[in-house]
Structure 1
């Protein structure tokens, strides 16, 4: 009979929702805590590669998600005056399957909604472990005790900070900051986009269809910056100052950025840790091994990690020490490869006015660029 059945998952993102699904599948009783008042919607498009598609298939989600494929075509590289000088092949920036992040989150939540208890609008305040469990206090709700705690709360994981220490010990910046937001598709883009680059800066606007909205991204190279990541006004001022005086659609994008309700800003960084578990606490996805957006692997890692972690807990019949060791043994080579891809992507991120020849070469080599260390997905028996 499986022991250690009560698991608290911090974070209702892709990793947390997928884990809730698989833990329930294996007979555990997951609880998910999320500081937001509801499931987060919006966000950029996310890619799936390789074994992540197998995980979706095993959740009976592959076909519904395939139906949401953005089917992005080639994009235009433009100069400061908006003139196209090259074509960016879709193979350079798209994975095997690309869908809007908000739609993916919606489908994952629908699949896991009845499989877990959800505590929205709250977050973990303190964590105390002993030989038999984890005592957790919350910012709003009453304290509770669980058998296991899983940190699936992203790059700036509160769980990681409480159980392992402050993030400066683990988070390594790749020297790129990014702002993403949605806006009216005033360029009339349809399954395509436009990309503008200047030294140390890049901006893009993409849209799935000409009738809906578009998403914009503004990237700039930078040393470490000090800011309050919860202060949107301060973050938008930083972005506006960095892009002041730039051409193309930048002035309009900055105006739309200030209106956006889904504005997001963060550093492109990786999480590097010697171990992803400490006693009864374990980390999942970006919280433990973020590969950075420049890798294009974060979503795949989250889905595969959730599948493996839940499966190993089931296979070990709740013996968390044994399960966490097996989980890390299975995932570590995979993560190491993905993080190498993320660092390489950051190094070549700001291509100053690349020629069509260079872009075509990147597209021709895309299969090589996207091949990573394979991970075997066992058929964990349901409990």
Structure 2
């Protein structure tokens, strides 16, 4: 079998690893000229912990743990008003999971663990034709090739999904929030706590929030700025305009924000996106299927874990049958309940993350201060601990040891 994977992110690289373990040839095409090294801190929860353990990379992931052990809510002076430790809801059920790693570090580990796949960087798929002998993919640069299977692991705005299923208007539900993040430094002693500072609606937008992720004890952080707003018609390719929008939205704000905005302007890892959720009745069309955010975006804290579990399951099913359509059916049947459960929004949903009024911020903080002491507290976070483990992973026999696979890069 010969598989084309669009996207060298978490799902695509994990899939390349597992396909190689099953003796299946994989080609990975990535629009960026190299691996995307930036990104925020992400969690590995529940069944995904078992997947990375089976990949042989759990120790490498733990060695790159950010050191974060909880989230602290602060006022405009930086004084704590509420806090929630990661252990309050189990190893996978809190706002911060027991295993947290920077996205760029996880991508690097997955790339090193991936078997001898073929990589096409600085390229992308421009057309797909599903015929009786396979799917012929046309690329922006490389020559056309025919594959037995094509997998879109290329994110919320998936090019493969657009080619096979239709445009984003048909497949993506807008969630009303903008988010940006970049690497920065602070003189604050965060002591292993993520810090969240909320602001009410203002400057023409809804509730606003700054979240600082510490990276070890070096003063390095990831700064994430988010806010609710109707779509503002931003240009996805104009980074300067995006940075200006962040600066305008948070103009006049206190605490660490002015210092961080100064660091944002020269940042070369700046990322900007509008949140959305995929809305698909099925994840496959013929010999083409979807993985990760391309298929099931929209969770709170489970995107990485679902991509890892999905890659494991998809590769295992492809290895179990010569018929891709049958493999896709079993992949989706095995994943659908798990995904559906993890896409449910917790009580309060996104609005609890960024309340639009000072009264709403105060009330949310009071809830955080008391919820860890209440019976049934897990229900207040959507029972994330149980949802993260809500799948029984099959044992798919592999033909290769993960440490014995050459990786010629």
TM range, smaller chain: over 0.9
Q: How does 1:357-372 map to 2 (within 5 A)?
A: 357-364=366-373, 365-366=377-378, 368-372=383-387
Q: 1:377 aligns with which of 386, 393, 403?
A: 393
Distance, in Å, in 2 between the alignment partners of 1:342 and 1:35 is 34
RMSD value over aligned CA atoms?
1.9
State the 1:343 CA deviation. Answer: 8.5
User: CA offsets, 1:19-68, max 9 Å, x none?
Assistant: 00111111211000011111111211110111101101110111221222
Distance, in Å, in 2 between the alignment partners of 1:166 and 1:154 is 14
Classify the secondary structure of the residue corresponding to 2:362.
coil
State the 1:212 CA deviation. Answer: 4.7
Alpha-carbon spacing, 1:382–1:360, altered in 2? closer, same or farther (3 Å):
same
Hey, which bits of structure 1, 4+ residues long, moved more than 4 A? 354-357
User: CA offsets, 1:144-198, max 9 Å, x none?
Assistant: 1111110000011011111111011111122111111111233243422322111
User: Which residue does the alignment assign to 1:237?
Assistant: 244
State the 1:17 CA deviation. Answer: 0.3
- Cα contact 1:189–1:209 (8 A) shared by 2: no
User: Which residue does the alignment assign to 1:101?
Assistant: 103
Distance, in Å, in 2 between the alignment partners of 1:343 and 1:266 is 24
> TM-score, normalised on structure 2?
0.87
Distance, in Å, in 2 between the alignment partners of 1:100 and 1:154 is 18
State the 1:229 CA deviation. Answer: 1.1
Distance, in Å, in 2 between the alignment partners of 1:382 and 1:210 is 40
Distance, in Å, in 2 between the alignment partners of 1:298 and 1:217 is 17
1:335 aligns with 2:339: yes
State the 1:356 CA deviation. Answer: 5.7
Larger deviation: 277-286 or 184-193?
A: 184-193
Classify the secondary structure of the residue corresponding to 1:259.
coil
Equivalent residues, number: 375
1:57 aligns with 2:59: no
Distance, in Å, in 2 between the alignment partners of 1:162 and 1:308 is 24
Classify the secondary structure of the residue corresponding to 1:135.
strand
Q: 1:319 aligns with which of 307, 318, 323?
A: 323
User: Which residue does the alignment assign to 1:202?
Assistant: 209
Distance, in Å, in 1 between the alignment partners of 2:231 and 2:104 is 29
Q: 1:228 aligns with which of 221, 224, 235?
A: 235
Distance, in Å, in 1 between the alignment partners of 2:229 and 2:333 is 35
Classify the secondary structure of the residue corresponding to 2:173.
strand
State the 1:71 CA deviation. Answer: 3.2
- Cα contact 1:48–1:300 (8 A) shared by 2: yes
State the 1:270 CA deviation. Answer: 0.9
- Cα contact 2:46–2:385 (8 A) shared by 1: no
Alpha-carbon spacing, 1:335–1:24, altered in 2? closer, same or farther (3 Å):
same
- Cα contact 2:71–2:95 (8 A) shared by 1: no
Classify the secondary structure of the residue corresponding to 1:353.
helix
User: Which residue does the alignment assign to 1:125?
Assistant: 126
Gapped regions of structure 1 (runs ≥ 5): none
State the 1:319 CA deviation. Answer: 0.6
Distance, in Å, in 2 between the alignment partners of 1:209 and 1:354 is 31
Alpha-carbon spacing, 1:314–1:343, altered in 2? closer, same or farther (3 Å):
farther
State the 1:97 CA deviation. Answer: 1.2
Distance, in Å, in 2 between the alignment partners of 1:310 and 1:343 is 34
